[in-house]
C-alpha cells in the first residue's frame, strides 16, 4: 500500500469509476452523494492512500487558514508560552500555525514577512520588544497595509499599538506600579530599578515598567541599566552594589535571577538583607521564591489569534497581577 503516492483526484476517480467532481464532493462532504457511490469513493481513497494537495486546493479558492507567529527567539520562556497560546488558538480555529524567529535581525524580519506574504498567511502576529519611534510606526503601518491588501491581517502582541493596526497588550505599566506599591507598603524606601538600555534607546517593555515604578514612587527613583539577561542583571547590579537600597526591582525575572546571584556573591541574603522582585512570572520565579508580576503570555497569544481571525480592530489590554512569594521582607 505504500505504493507511489502523489495520487491525484483523477486517479481516485478512475479507481472508483466516477468523475473527479464526485470525489471532490465526498471529500468536501458538503453535497449530496449516493451512499453507495460514497462508499466506493472512500474505499478508493483508502486503497490509494490519497492525500489532497493544499496548493491545488488553495489555488482553486479553498485556502486553509494559516496564522504566523513572528518572534525574536523561541528559547525565551515568555515567548514560548505566547507561542503555545497561539498554537492552541490556531488549532481551535482549524488553522495551521507557522512559527518564525527573527533573532531580532531586521533583515531576517523582512525576509520572513516576504515569505509570509507569499504563503498568503491569513494573519501574522508580531511579538517582541521594540523601540517606539517614527521609524517603527512607519514600518508597522507599511507591513500592515501590505498584509491587508492581501486579505491578511497584522496583529501586534505586547507591543505599542500603531494607528489602524489591531493589537493586544498587557497592563505593563500597571503591573510595575502594583509591584512597586507592594514594596513601598512593605516599608521599603530606597528601591533600585534594575533595567533599561545599557546603551541606545529603550524598548517600550522597559520604559513602561520604569514608568510604573516612577509613578508609584512619585519621583524618578534610582535606575541601573541592564539588558534583559541573567548575565547583565548580575554584572549591572554588581556595579551598583556598594550603595544602600533595601530592595531591587528587576525589569524581568531573568534579570532578577542574575541580581540574586550578584547579591549572594556579595554576602547579601534575599530577603533578609535586600528584597527582590521581578517581572513576568516565569518558572524560575517559583524556584527562586521570587515575588513578581504575572504576565498572562498564553492568553496573550490566544487573544492575538482570536483578534486576528475576527475582523475586529480593537486594542484589548490583559490584566497583570502581583504574585507574592518570599523575596520581599516586611518592615
Partner DNA sequence: CTGTTAGCGCGTTCAC
Partner DNA sequence: GTGAACGCGCTAACAG
Q: Which residues bind DNA (CB under 7 A)?
A: 6, 8-10, 17-22, 24-25, 27-28, 31-34, 36-38, 50, 52-53, 56-57, 59-62
Task: For residue 161, give the nearest of 207, 204, 108, 206 by alpha carbon.
Answer: 204
Alpha-helical regions (H) of the chain:
9-16, 20-28, 35-48, 54-59, 77-92, 106-118, 134-149, 172-185, 204-217, 230-238, 253-265, 283-288, 297-309
Rounding to the nearest 10 degrees, give the CA dihedral for residues 204, 210, 212, 214: -140
* Measured distance CA(191)–CA(213) in Å, rounded: 9
Taking CB within 5 to 8 Å according to partner kind, which of its own copies, DNA, none is near residue 149?
its own copies
CB of 259 to DNA, least distance (A): 53
CB of 52 to its own copies, least distance (A): 6
Give whichever of 24 and 141 is closer to DNA, judged by the CB atom: 24
Give whichever of 173 and 298 is closer to its own copies, judged by the CB atom: 298
Give whichever of 64 and 187 is closer to DNA, judged by the CB atom: 64
Give whichever of 150 and 323 is closer to DNA, judged by the CB atom: 150
Q: How far is CA 155 from CA 15, 62, 173, 307, in A?
A: 46, 23, 21, 8
CB of 32 to DNA, least distance (A): 4
Neighbours of 169 (CB within 10 A): 19
Task: For residue 5, give the nearest of 45, 43, 42 by alpha carbon.
Answer: 45
Give whichever of 17 and 145 is closer to its own copies, judged by the CB atom: 145
* Measured distance CA(58)–CA(222) in Å, rounded: 57
Give whichever of 30 and 199 is closer to DNA, judged by the CB atom: 30
CB of 150 to DNA, least distance (A): 11
* Measured distance CA(114)–CA(36) in Å, rounded: 47
CB of 33 to DNA, least distance (A): 4
Taking CB within 5 to 8 Å according to partner kind, which of DNA, its own copies, none is near residue 219?
none
CB of 126 to DNA, least distance (A): 25
Taking CB within 5 to 8 Å according to partner kind, which of DNA, its own copies, none is near residue 29?
none
- List interacting residues with its own copies (CB under 8 A): 2-6, 49, 51-59, 63-64, 73-75, 77, 80-81, 83-84, 87, 91, 96-101, 108, 114-115, 117-120, 142, 145-146, 148-151, 230, 257, 283-284, 286-288
Q: What is the gyration radius of the CA atoms in the chain, in angstroms? A: 26
Amino acid at each position: 500500500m505504500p505504493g507511489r503516492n502523489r495520487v491525484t483526484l483523477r486517479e481516485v476517480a478512475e479507481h472508483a469509476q466516477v468523475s473527479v467532481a464526485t470525489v471532490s464532493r465526498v471529500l468536501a462532504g458538503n453535497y449530496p452523494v449516493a451512499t453507495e457511490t460514497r462508499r466506493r469513493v472512500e474505499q478508493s481513497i483508502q486503497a490509494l492512500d490519497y492525500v489532497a494537495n493544499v496548493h491545488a486546493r488553495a489555488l482553486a479558492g479553498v485556502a486553509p487558514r494559516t496564522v504566523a507567529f513572528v518572534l525574536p527567539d523561541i528559547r525565551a520562556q515568555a515567548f514560548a508560552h505566547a507561542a503555545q497560546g497561539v498554537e492552541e488558538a490556531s488549532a481551535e480555529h482549524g488553522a495551521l500555525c507557522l512559527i518564525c524567529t527573527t533573532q531580532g535581525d531586521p533583515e531576517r524580519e523582512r525576509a520572513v514577512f516576504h515569505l509570509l506574504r507569499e504563503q498568503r498567511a491569513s494573519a501574522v502576529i508580531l511579538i517582541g520588544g521594540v523601540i517606539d519611534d517614527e521609524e517603527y510606526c512607519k514600518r508597522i503601518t507599511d507591513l500592515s497595509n501590505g498584509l491587508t491588501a492581501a486579505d491578511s491581517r497584522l496583529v501586534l502582541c505586547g507591543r505599542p499599538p500603531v494607528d489602524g493596526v489591531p493589537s493586544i497588550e498587557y497592563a505593563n505599566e500597571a503591573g510595575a506600579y502594583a509591584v512597586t506599591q507592594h514594596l513601598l507598603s512593605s516599608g521599603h524606601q530606597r528601591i533600585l530599578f534594575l533595567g533599561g538600555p545599557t546603551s541606545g534607546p529603550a524598548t517600550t517593555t522597559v520604559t513602561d515598567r520604569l514608568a510604573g515604578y516612577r509613578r508609584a514612587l512619585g519621583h524618578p527613583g534610582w535606575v541601573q541599566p541592564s539588558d534583559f539577561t541573567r548575565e547583565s542583571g548580575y554584572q549591572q547590579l554588581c556595579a551598583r552594589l556598594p550603595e544602600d537600597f533595601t530592595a531591587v526591582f528587576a525589569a524581568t525575572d531573568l534579570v532578577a535571577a542574575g541580581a540574586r546571584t550578584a547579591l549572594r556573591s556579595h554576602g547579601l541574603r534575599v530577603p533578609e538583607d535586600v528584597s527582590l522582585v521581578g517581572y513576568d512570572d516565569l518558572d524560575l520565579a517559583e524556584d527562586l521564591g521570587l515575588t513578581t508580576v504575572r504576565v498572562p503570555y498564553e492568553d496573550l497569544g490566544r487573544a492575538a489569534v482570536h483578534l486576528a481571525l475576527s475582523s475586529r480592530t480593537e486594542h484589548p489590554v490583559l490584566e497583570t497581577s502581583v504574585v507574592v512569594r518570599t523575596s520581599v521582607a516586611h518592615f
